[in-house]
Amino acid sequence: MRLQVLEDEQAVAQAGAELIAAAARAAVAERGRFAMALSGGRTPTRMLAVLARAPMPWDQTQVFQVDERVAPPGDPARNLNSLQAILLQQGLLDPSRLHAMPVEAADFDSAAAQYSAMLRAHAGSPAVLDLVHLGLGADGHTASLAPDSPELDEASAEVAVTRPYLGHRRMTLTYPPINRARQVLWLVTGDGKKAALQRLRNGDRSIPAGRVERSRATVIADRAAAG
């Protein structure tokens, strides 16, 4: 795991965008396409705003969600909102290349299987994403893999729907597709994440984040989170 500590949240967003853009250009040069999964949150939204101005091969890029809250379309809780506002409304990404998690479906098991099939259609079988961007919760959760969640032990399904956590059920990528990714990018900001980041750096597998493959991971943190 490589750690980069920068001054503040904006610097973290800038560095994250630069890393993604470089990874995208390299993937397109090598394999003709770039498939990434993005998480939600304030710092990732800042990162997307920077990425919108970066030299990105959008026409060869497929964007998936790492996780999403079960909520109606347009609900403020939805991670999809910022992806649509920046990538679609600014005309960067064709709508067919933004793959929203189907959290409005009546049958969650079928919806999760549907999203898994979409992953495999664009990233191979089993799906190997070029980059997965993750956040880190103060409790050590990542994606929507929460402490004591049954999904922590999921070894085959690539997508799962969780029980309620912090007010919402969620659809999430599981460890198998996250740990197969060619690159994992963590963005961690704020002093509320200091203890969780230290546990992640120490490889503490008692927190969900600690079970993510470390060998291909980069953590970009601000000074508040890094202590």
Would you give per-residue pLDDT tens digits along the chain (227 residues)? 999 999 999 999 999 999 999 999 999 999 999 999 999 988 999 999 999 999 999 999 999 999 999 999 999 999 999 999 999 999 999 999 999 999 999 999 999 999 999 999 999 999 999 999 999 999 999 999 999 999 999 998 999 999 998 889 999 999 999 999 999 999 999 999 999 999 999 999 999 999 999 999 999 999 999 98
- Distance (Å, whole) CA 72 – CA 132: 25
- Distance (Å, whole) CA 84 – CA 87: 5
Q: Measuring CA to CA, which residue among 65, 58, 63, 50 is closest to residue 15?
A: 50
pLDDT of residue 223: 97
Q: Are 63 and 99 in contact (CB under 8 A)?
A: yes
Amino acid at 27: A
- Distance (Å, whole) CA 218 – CA 225: 15
- Distance (Å, whole) CA 38 – CA 52: 14
pLDDT of residue 199: 97
| Structural domains of the chain sorted by starting position, each given as residue range(s) with its CATH number in brackets | 2-168+195-220 (3.40.50.1360)
pLDDT tens-place string over residues 165-194: 888 999 999 999 999 999 999 999 999 999
Question: Rg of the chain over CA atoms, in angstroms?
Answer: 16
Task: Pull the structure tokens for residue 82.
Answer: 């910022």
pLDDT of residue 47: 95
Query: In sequence order, what are the residues at sequence separation of 6 or more whose Cβ sits closer than 8 angstroms to the Cβ of residue 90?
Result: 52
pLDDT of residue 167: 87
